[in-house]
Each structure stands twice: as C-alpha cells, then as structure tokens.
Amino acid sequence: MARNDFESIKKAIDELGIEFVDLKVVDLVGRLRHLTLPATRFTRELLEKGVGFDASNYGYRTVEQSDMLLVPDLSTARVEDFSGERLLSLFCDIQQVKSGERVAFPLDPRQTARRAEEYLRESGVADRCYLSPEFEFYIFDQVDYAYDRNRVYFQVESLEAPWESSRGGFYLGPKGGYHASPPADRLMELRGAIVSYLERAGIPVKYHHHEIGGAGEVEIEVGFEGLLRAADNTLFIKYAVRNITHQHGKSATFMPKPLPGYPGNGMHLHQYLVKGGKNIFYDPNGYGGMSELGLYYIGGLLAHGASLMAFTNPSTNSYRRLTPGFEAPVAFTFGLANRSAAIRIPSYITDPETQRLELRTIDATCNPYLAFSAVLMAGLDGIERGIDPRRLGYGPWEENLYQLPPKERSKIRFAPSSLSEALKALEQDHEYLLRGGVFTEEQLDAWLKAKQEEVAEFYDKPHPYEYVLYYDL
C-alpha cells in the first residue's frame, strides 16, 4: 500500500470499505502483539495522542510504571484479508509521557533499529544497510504438545514423513526434501498461496521451495530492504505464514529445531552496505569479490560472534539446531561458498550492486529489530577498528569444517553451545552495541534478565529423554 499520509490512507479506508484498523507492535522478546480499532476511530487526534497500553505485559516495564502509548507509523500501512474481511494494518512505535511531553520510549526495538540506521549514516561508513532474510520453517499437518507436572510430550504429524502410513507411496526422508518435487512435495500449493499474499502486501519474494527436512520444511527468500523495513517485514511474514497455514488446516513453526534427527530452521541473513549509491562490499580483485571494508565487517561479526548470538539466537532451542552435520554452522569462520562456515560469501554473485555476505547462524526466534541492529553494530565495529578476519585466523576456510581433523579444528573458535553461554558472552562483550546510544544499558539489562529467566525456567524441569537415560539407574 503505497500511501503514507493520513488523508490518502483515510481515502483508501473509505474506498475499500475497511471497517477496522489493526495496530501491531513487538514485545521485548520479539512476539507480535496487536489491538484493533473501528476505522471510525482512526483520526488525526489518535495519531497525535496515541493509544494507551500496559507495557508491563510486553516485558518492558513493571506494573507501577507501565503506561505507554502506541503511535502508528503510516509508512507501514498495508491491507490484510486473511479471513475475507479487510483490515488496515499498521506497525507502531512505542512512546512514553515525560513532563507532559510525548517522547520515544528508549527500550522500543523499532527505535533501536532507527538509531542503528542513524548511527550508520553518522559514521560516514555508509548510507544504508540492506538485508535479505531467508525464512525456513516447518509446516505440520497436526501438532500437539503439553508440559504438565505428570506428563510431557509433543506430537507432530506430516504426510510427507516416512512414519505416516497414508503417504501413498511418496514420502521424504529426514534429509531428503531439498528442492523436492510433487507429489512428494505436498506443500507447493500452500507455499504459493503464502507467496502470493506476501507479494500483494508489498513484500518482494525471490523464490520458494521445499527445504532439506522431509517432514514439511520449506523456505521462502525475500528481496533486500533497509534495516527497519526488513525487521517489520520479518514480523509480518511470520504472522502471514502462521495465519495462512492455519486457514489451510495446518500449523507452521519457525522453531530452530522442532524435530530430533531432522534439519533445523535458520534465518540466514544476507547483507551489504551502500554509500553514495555504490555497494561498498564490492571489489572485483578482493577475495570472493569482497572489498577490504567488507572483510573488516566480517571480522566484526566473527570477533563479536558469541555475544551477538544472545540476540541472533536467543532461545534455548536455538542451540539444538547448532550441531554439526545439518548445515547449521558452529564455526566462527568465513569462506567462499562454504555453508559449514558461520559466514558464507556467495560464489554465484555476478552483480556488483548486490555483492554480499550471508550470516548463517541466526534464526527466527530473534527479535528482528534488536538482532539486525546488533549485527550491523558488530559489522561496523569491525570496519571502524579494521578487524581483519584473515589475520585473526577466521579464514578464509574452504574445507568442510565438520570434517576437519582435531589439529585443524583446534585453530577455530566455535559458537556457544547454549543460550547461557551466549548471555555470559553478552555480559562481557557489549560496548560495541552502546556506541551512538543505539542500545542502552537499561535495554541490555532488560534483555539479559528476560532471557536468563527463560534459561532458569528451562533447566528447572526434567527433560523427557532423561527418563530414557536414567529412570532405571
């Protein structure tokens, strides 16, 4: 919806017969929240005053200081029609009132993304950061799970999987799904419905296909956008995927590792920087076509790799995906076309305008505003400090890093093996995030507290497999 002023949006509401306006906002950990207004309530006064809400339920504030305001960002307007009824959808900024004045709420993740983009411009390094995520997710025919005091289980069904008796002779093994064709690929039509919806919503899609996981893992890759818009789109894409699959009687999950023995879901993040209309990562004479600045950016990502994962891989389940052998990289290295490295430089890029790197560790349980901002800040720190990954032993590596002999493996730094390790790394290494006020100490404290509570909740409970291992000891 290419309208970002109040009058044109009001006109579209009238012309399309829209009855409701949906205000969307992200909570601290990255879940999408919303509230819905009658379209008659969408007025200039609402834009000026905002809509009050309780920020304590979003994880931002305690109850005694939780009054906040949602303020719609008109540039995010798009029309939704999941249920056949059209809604006007708007992402919102969070504001607070101080001394009688409305001011931006510093813990608002959208504000963090804005500050990151502003810091990039003020640094003089580049004008824009362009990002393109790959969305991997599983679509199950049925899912059920529970964690009670006396029972713990999950059960998923997929007509593509070999354990289904009604597969009609066509099924996909645990790692047999990559670019599978129908009829074994039973999800092509559904992916098409999702992609058509995203295209109508103004999100350019590069392609979709079946992914490696044979029990319904698929991928949708979208085009490049600026940092803030890419984060908005990430939330909207996850929202659209869940709603459309639900309408088709199925269930989608972006969990990094929903099934044991099957590949996990990543959200590989392609990225490059532009200054004066030129891609500053491109150098035809550099390694893999990458400029010195691009290599320094890689150096920053790898030098801060462990602390960065507190934002890019912020769930306990993230680290069940990060195991060797399933194309999930655990080595803090880079290389040309190397999918076993944390950072891959694609070898098939022939257009100088889109020379880029791909961060392969990140997954979709992240809060995209915070994760994308942290990625940019780590890369900029690499440029500003001239962190050359070649001199620090980060590569380039073009070998299969899963199959290195022990002597060679000892030369490599590896990713944290748990969320606890990543959070400890963030406590020790976060100065690069505070530059330019992009992140704040209060914000980092709130994030660490929320995630440490998740870890404590997780480890306070017995795991079902522990019964298999230890019940009879």
Domain boundary among 105, 136, 163: 105
CA 2 remoteness from chain centre: 25
Q: Which of 93, 211, 232, 381 is catalytic?
A: 211
Same domain, 14 and 51: yes
Active site residue 136: yes
For the chain, state the CA radius of gyration.
Answer: 23
Active site residue 219: yes
b/e 160-180 (16+ beta carbons within 10 angstroms → b): bbeeeeebeeebbebbebbeb
- 8 A C-beta contact, residue 383 and residue 125: yes
Same domain, 204 and 281: yes
SS (H, E, C) 268-298: CEEEEEEECCEECCECCCCHHHECHHHHHHH
CA 329/CA 297 separation, integer angstroms: 19
CA 50/CA 433 separation, integer angstroms: 30
Same domain, 96 and 129: no
- Residue 309 falls within a domain, yes or no? yes
pLDDT for 405 equals: 81
Average pLDDT value for residue range 127-132: 98
Please count the structural domains in the chain.
Answer: 2
Q: Which of 108, 117, 160, 219 is catalytic?
A: 219
At 79, which CATH number?
A: 3.10.20.70
Q: Which of 93, 108, 117, 136 is catalytic?
A: 136
CA end-to-end distance (rounded Å), the chain: 63
pLDDT for 128 equals: 98
Active site residue 199: no
Same domain, 193 and 265: yes
pLDDT for 62 equals: 75
- Residue 110 falls within a domain, yes or no? no
Same domain, 150 and 129: yes
pLDDT of 168 > 80? The answer is: no
Q: What is the pLDDT of residues 36-51, one digit of tens each?
A: 999 999 999 999 889 9
- Residue 360 falls within a domain, yes or no? yes
Q: Which has the closest alpha carbon to 329: 317, 318, 343?
A: 343
Averaged confidence pLDDT in the chain:
93
Q: Which of 242, 339, 413, 435 is catalytic?
A: 339
- Residue 55 falls within a domain, yes or no? yes
Task: Name the phi and psi angles at 97, rounded to 5.
Answer: -105, 125
Same domain, 416 and 455: yes
CA 267/CA 137 separation, integer angstroms: 9
- Residues spanned by the domain of 167: 115-470
Confidence grade of residue 399 (pLDDT, cut at 50, 70, 90): confident
Same domain, 27 and 137: no
Contacts of 437 (CB under 8 A, 6+ apart): 115
Confidence grade of residue 165 (pLDDT, cut at 50, 70, 90): low
Active site residue 211: yes
Which pTM was predicted? 0.95
- 8 A C-beta contact, residue 88 and residue 46: no
- Residue 89 falls within a domain, yes or no? yes
Contacts of 306 (CB under 8 A, 6+ apart): 332, 415, 416, 421, 422, 425, 429
Domain boundary among 58, 75, 105: 105
Q: What is the pLDDT of residues 242-298, one digit of tens each?
A: 999 999 999 999 999 999 999 999 999 999 999 999 999 999 999 999 999 999 999
Measured over the CA atoms of residue 378, residue 379, residue 384 and residue 386, the dihedral's sign is positive
Active site residue 408: no
Same domain, 142 and 191: yes
Q: Which of 268, 270, 344, 430 is catalytic?
A: 268
pLDDT for 364 equals: 98
Q: Which of 134, 185, 225, 283 is catalytic?
A: 134
Contacts of 275 (CB under 8 A, 6+ apart): 125, 126, 127
Q: What angle do CA 449, 323, 153 make, to 5 degrees?
A: 70
Active site residue 101: no
Phi-psi region of 450 (alpha: psi -120 to 50; beta: other; left: phi over 0): alpha
pLDDT for 1 equals: 54
Q: Collapsing DSSP states into helix, strand and coil, what is residue 39?
A: helix
Same domain, 288 and 393: yes
Active site residue 141: no
